[in-house]
Amino acid sequence: MLEQIISLVGALLILGAYAANQTGMVRSGDRGYSIANFVGSMLLLWVAVVDQRAGFIVLESAWALISVPHMIRPRPRNDPPSSPNPTDPSSRP
């Protein structure tokens, strides 16, 4: 049961980050996007290791490693955290 809850949380983190990116709420280079992907993939990696699923171990390990550079790279001072959402009326000038 615990593995199911952990896997659902991991999947929701990854899917939530993807949905936020697709709707323009975050950019793929944003630190929060990468953190959500990293944490989600680490949770799913743990479940894959417990279940001894080699293919998922490789997939989730790669997903986590790909997320790391954006988490540790410093953001330039003039780079805003994310772009405004063009469909959000409150973000228009």
Record the pTM: 0.75
Compute how many other C-beta atoms are within 10 angstroms of the C-beta atom of residue 31. Answer: 16
Residue type, 21: N
Quote the distance between the C-alpha of residue 38 and its chain's center. Answer: 6
Compute how many other C-beta atoms are within 10 angstroms of the C-beta atom of residue 3. Answer: 13
Task: Give pLDDT tens digits along the chain (93 positions).
Answer: 999 999 999 999 999 999 999 999 999 888 899 999 999 999 999 999 999 999 999 999 999 999 888 888 776 666 555 555 555 554 444
pLDDT of 72 reads 83
